[in-house]
Amino acid sequence: MIALQSSHHDPPYSFVESNLARDGRFGWFLAMWHPERSLHLEELGAELKLSIRNSDASNISRLEVEKWLKSFFVELNWKLHARLRKTDLQEKGLSVFFGIIYDHELFFVQFGRIFCALSDDKKLRFIGPKYQDIQMQTLQKLNLLGFADEDIKIRVQRIFIGETHRFIAISGNLCERVFETQSDLATLDHYIESFAQSENPLWLILDGRAHLIKARRKKLSRLQISSIVIIVLTLFASAYMLFGNRFLDQALHRTRLNVQNNPVLRLEQIPDNLSVETKNFLKYMDRIVNLPARNIELDILWSATLPYQVTSAPVFSLNTIYLASDHNLIAFDKKSRELIWKKSFAEQINSIFYADNVLLVCLADNQSFGFKENGTQLWESELMSIHTSIGSLEPSQVTQADDPRLDRAITVVPSAKFISIFDAFRGENLSTITFKQELHSLSAYDNYATCFYAIVDDGLICIQLKIAN
């Protein structure tokens, strides 16, 4: 619903009039402002109010409101023009705002020096003319209601006022004082109300709120449902007899003729017929079936420069990447690629492995450690140290168990300058990625993140395996 939060006027300079339903789902608002003080304004204001009250404003539907607003105010413009010519007002035109609401939608027109804005406590945007653009305009350019002896230009604005929105219609003499000095939009309505003692102030503030009274959904009775079904069936039957040309009967008849016209193959003719008609199709299907996937591509997902030399191939867990650099063990977060924790040892790290949710670290002096993913040490033991060379690049396989997107295993072939994905069954290179610097090591396949981790020169590169089926 839309509620009237605040309004202020200074008769006979200005007035605000409203007619709002109890549930706030329909109503209209009228405001008029003039810079002069004159008894003629009381008469003009009364005539303006009477014209709105006697109009169809309370019965106009949402679909017809824009057309109605234009025709109504064109006619009202001429009526006021005749009255304004007989007055002693120096400015023979009125600044007018009129709006009609439907639920949370507002349709409105504005004339002269009444300006409109919409606020949601985060930003303020003007709707229609801006007050900065009309400060130095002529009376003709102001588009005052009743001023010109011709049809007035009318533009109907349509906006949605949400539950946290406030719609503001304010006279031009307050715009600069309000909008240029107030920065806190949350208290804008209270700030506007502080100008109540200013000269000739006018404002109208509408507040978007939740529905207080929800409209009841009307259920159809059994009689109404039965009537609708009968009417629909009657219309369908009539249309079928008049325009259908018995298309269902024709379709069945043509189907029978097509079946009867096709020659029936003898049993011994079936193999030859299938062989001739499906020769090219089988070639195409053979390529699809025998490929491990329709399309495989290696792509660099991200890269990071390392300030140290990596001395072991990267290993990983579900959320963490582990690197060994001489005496140091470093753990990085996969998503943010930020340092999580770091461990230093007295001896050089020979190798690191990750198995059974435990990170195994083997040192050069045959000391071994077990760590949790968060860096907590589980145990320390003296084991035969396994040494892995950073420069050893060996082929490996990615099977369907590693990646369900594959129909058959593929072979990963790394070398000093490139990595290739190879289909060993067909002897076909599916994808290759080339590096400018030397590839030192390549991790196993991360089947959770569907990627590899490579150490190239002084950087860590994440290489994604793209598979399209």
Task: Write down all domains in the chain, each with its CATH number in brackets.
Answer: 2-208 (3.60.40.10), 312-382 (2.40.10.480), 391-468 (2.40.10)
What's the N-to-C CA distance of the chain in angstroms? 51
| Measured CA angle at 187 (ends 198, 205), to 5 deg | 65
How many other C-beta atoms lie within 10 A of the C-beta of residue 319? Answer: 15
How many other C-beta atoms lie within 10 A of the C-beta of residue 329? Answer: 21
Question: What is the three-class DSSP state of 134?
Answer: helix
Which tokens is 350 given?
């020979």
How many other C-beta atoms lie within 10 A of the C-beta of residue 399? Answer: 13
Type and span of the H or E element at 260: helix 247-261
Type and span of the H or E element at 91: none
pLDDT of residue 273: 55
pLDDT of residue 332: 93
pLDDT of residue 167: 93
pLDDT of residue 294: 62
pLDDT of residue 179: 85
How many other C-beta atoms lie within 10 A of the C-beta of residue 220? Answer: 10
| Measured CA angle at 126 (ends 123, 131), to 5 deg | 130
205 phi, psi to nearest 5 deg: -120, 120
SS3 content of the chain, % helix, strand, coil (to 5): 25, 35, 40
pLDDT of residue 100: 94
pLDDT of residue 213: 45
Low-confidence ranges of the chain (pLDDT < 70): 135-137, 211-218, 240-291, 293-294, 385-392, 469
